[in-house]
Amino acid sequence: MDGIWQTLWHALRDPLRYVVDGQERIFWLYLLSSLFLALGLHAYLRRNRPDTVPRSPLAYLFPKKIYLHKSAIADYQFFLIDRIVFALMFPVVLLLWAPIMYGTAAALDHLFGPLANPWKGGLWVPVLATLCQILLNDFMLFYLHYLFHKVPVLWEFHKVHHSAEVMTPITAYRMHPVEMVLTLNLTTIVGGLSFAVFDYLTAGAVMTYEVVGVNVVMFLFYVVGFNLRHSHIPMAYPRTVSYLLVSPWMHQVHHSMEKRHLDKNMGFIFSVWDWAFGTLYIPARDETFALGLDSGEAPKFHHVGALYLLPFRNILARLTAQSAAKSTHKST
C-alpha cells in the first residue's frame, strides 16, 4: 500500500519536474532562450515596423487574448492532468526499447561474430553516432507525423493537437495519449536499433555527444527558439536556412487552418524531409492566418474531457457512417 501511495505522490508532483529537467521541452533554459529571442524580435520590429507590434515588450510577449483564451486554458488544465496520467503510465508505455536494443545486439553477434577491428579512437565515431541518432529520430518523427495527417483514424487523435486556436509553449503537450504512446514506442525502436548497431561496431564503446542528457543537436535546437514554435511570435529563419531547418514560423503555419497550409511543414528539426515528400511550405514574413481545424470543430476540444474522449467518439461515428454507406450500397 505504501508503494502505491508513493507512486501516486510522485505522479502528482511530476508536472513540476518539467521546468527543471533538461530532457523536457519546457526546461527553464529553453524557455529563457526563447524569451530572449522573442525580445530581440520585438526590438527589431519596434525599430523597423513599429506599427505592427505593441510598444510594451510585456504586452507583445504575453497578450491576454492568447494566454487567457479558452484554448490556452484547456492546454494548462490538460497539461497538469495528462502529465500525472503519463507519469503513472510511463512504466508500461516504453516496452520495446530494451528488447529491441539487446535483441539486435545479440543477433548481430550471433550472425557475424565479434568484429576483428571494432571502431575505436578519434572523434569521428561519436560524431557519426550522434548524427545518425538524431537523423533517424527526426525522420521517424516526421514520418509518424505524416501518417497522423494522412491516415483518417490516426488523424482523429492528432486533431487534439491541431484543435488549439491559440498557442503557448504548453500547447506542445496538447497531444492525445494514443499519439504519445505510438510515437514514443516507434521512435525508441529506431533509437534502440541505432544504438545496437553502434554498440556492435564499437565493441560496446558506443558514445554520443549530449548536453543535460539530450543529444547535442537536439539541445541546440531547443535552445534556438523551440518554444516559439507554439506561440504567436513569428520568428523566421532566412529562406535558405528554411530549406534545412524548421523555423518556429514554419511550424506555426503548420497549425494554420488555411487551405494552402494544410498538411505542410511536418518536420520536427529538419525540413529536408518535407522537401523530399513535397510538404515543404516556406511562408512569407507577412502572411496572416487563423489557427485550428478547417472543419470548425476546434471549440469542441476546449475542455479536458473532450481532449481525451472526442477522438474515440469521432472514430466511432466515422466507422458507423462507413458501415451505413456499405449497407446502403449493398441494398441498391
Residue 144: C-alpha distances to residues 137, 151, 191, 200, 249 (Å): 11, 10, 14, 28, 21
| pLDDT at 151 (0 to 100) | 96
| Cβ-proximal residues to 295 (8 Å cutoff; 6+ apart), any chain | none
| Cβ-proximal residues to 263 (8 Å cutoff; 6+ apart), any chain | 149, 150, 279
Per-residue pLDDT of the chain (332 residues; tens, 9 = 90+): 556 667 676 777 888 899 999 999 999 999 999 999 999 999 999 999 998 899 999 999 999 999 999 999 999 999 999 998 888 876 666 666 667 777 777 777 777 777 777 777 678 888 998 999 999 999 999 999 999 999 999 999 999 999 999 999 999 999 999 999 889 888 888 888 888 888 888 877 778 899 999 999 999 999 999 999 999 999 999 999 999 999 999 999 999 999 999 999 999 999 999 999 999 999 988 899 999 999 999 999 999 999 999 999 999 998 888 877 777 766 66
- Are residues 277 and 147 in contact, defined by beta-carbon separation less than 8 angstroms? no
| pLDDT at 286 (0 to 100) | 84
Nearest to 129 by CA among 71, 216, 52, 211: 216
Nearest to 253 by CA among 280, 273, 277, 275: 280
Question: For the chain, how are helix, strand and coil distributed in percent, rounded to 5?
Answer: 65, 0, 30
Mode of pairing for the β-strands spanning 214-215 and 210-211: antiparallel
- Are residues 231 and 167 in contact, defined by beta-carbon separation less than 8 angstroms? yes
- Are residues 128 and 211 in contact, defined by beta-carbon separation less than 8 angstroms? no
What's the domain range around 169?
Answer: 2-331
- Number of domains the chain is built from: 1
Burial of 315 (0-12, 13-18, 19+ CB in 10 A): middle
| pLDDT at 318 (0 to 100) | 87
Query: Which cell is 259 given?
Result: 487551405
